[in-house]
């Protein structure tokens, strides 16, 4: 056991400053709805999922595809453009705002993570940052986008990679942390 001082004091953790943007009853109803219609492996149809997301305050464009097993923490913090695909078991942990542009793709098991903790403080304070995914961007399977990250339009975060800083438009990134690999060329 390490005896360095100061020590982490999780008992002193306080995130009372944070507001999820909805009352307890709305959050409970969303939890039940998301468990039944989103997180489950059953396919209820895209129209029903879009209707539920809108009922809970999400802003959605046309033809949004949400596959089975998707976890969305707070739909009222979510804005999705037209013709967006969200793959199986994607997790949108949107303690902050998440904006996804037109024709963007979130592949299977990817994670958009708006929250983290300040490891430099003994109280392990909550940190929250908004995420923006640009038009035509692709977040690959099992890739992670961290708090405050902007994925530029038509950028690619490849399979299993971790974006801890902004990704420039039209470029492909890979690794942990993700680094620039090459320009993205889209053929007609």
Domain ranges in the chain are: 22-183
- Residue 150: CB atoms within 10 A of its CB come to 21
The per-residue pLDDT for range 121-162, each reduced to its tens digit, is 999 999 999 999 999 999 999 999 999 999 999 999 999 999
Read off the pTM. 0.94
Question: Average pLDDT in the 23-50 region?
Answer: 93
Q: What is the pLDDT of residue 66?
A: 97
Q: Closest by alpha carbon to 131, among 97, 165, 176, 95?
A: 97
In this structure, what DSSP letter does residue 39 have? I
3-11: long-range contacts (C-beta < 8 A, 24 or more apart)? 6/122, 7/122, 8/122, 8/124, 9/122, 9/123, 9/124, 10/124
Contact 132, 152 (CB under 8 A): no
- Percentage of the chain lying above the pLDDT 70 cut: 97
Whether residue 4 is predicted with pLDDT greater than 90 in this model: the reply is: no
Contact 106, 85 (CB under 8 A): yes
* Reported confidence tier of residue 2, pLDDT bands at 50, 70, 90: low
22-183 maps to CATH 2.160.10.10: yes
Q: What is the pLDDT of residue 181?
A: 98
Query: What's the chain's average pLDDT?
Result: 95
């Amino acid at each position: 056991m390490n005896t360095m001082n100061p020590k982490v004091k999780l008992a002193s953790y306080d995130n009372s400053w944070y507001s999820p943007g909805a009352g307890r009853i709305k959050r409970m109803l969303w939890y039940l709805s998301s468990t039944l219609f989103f997180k489950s492996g059953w396919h209820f149809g895209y129209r029903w999922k879009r209707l539920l997301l809108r009922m809970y305050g999400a802003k959605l464009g046309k033809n949004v595809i949400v596959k089975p097993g998707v976890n969305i923490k707070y739909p009222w913090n979510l804005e999705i453009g037209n013709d967006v695909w969200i793959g199986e078991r994607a997790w949108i942990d949107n303690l902050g705002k998440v904006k996804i542009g037109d024709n963007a793709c979130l592949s299977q098991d990817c994670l958009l993570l708006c929250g983290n903790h300040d490891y430099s403080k003994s109280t392990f304070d909550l940190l929250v940052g908004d995420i923006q995914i640009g038009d035509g961007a692709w977040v690959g399977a099992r890739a992670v986008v961290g708090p405050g990250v902007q994925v530029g339009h038509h950028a690619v975060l490849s399979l299993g990679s971790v974006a801890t800083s902004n990704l420039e438009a039209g470029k492909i990134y890979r690794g942990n942390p993700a680094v620039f690999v090459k320009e993205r060329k889209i053929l007609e």
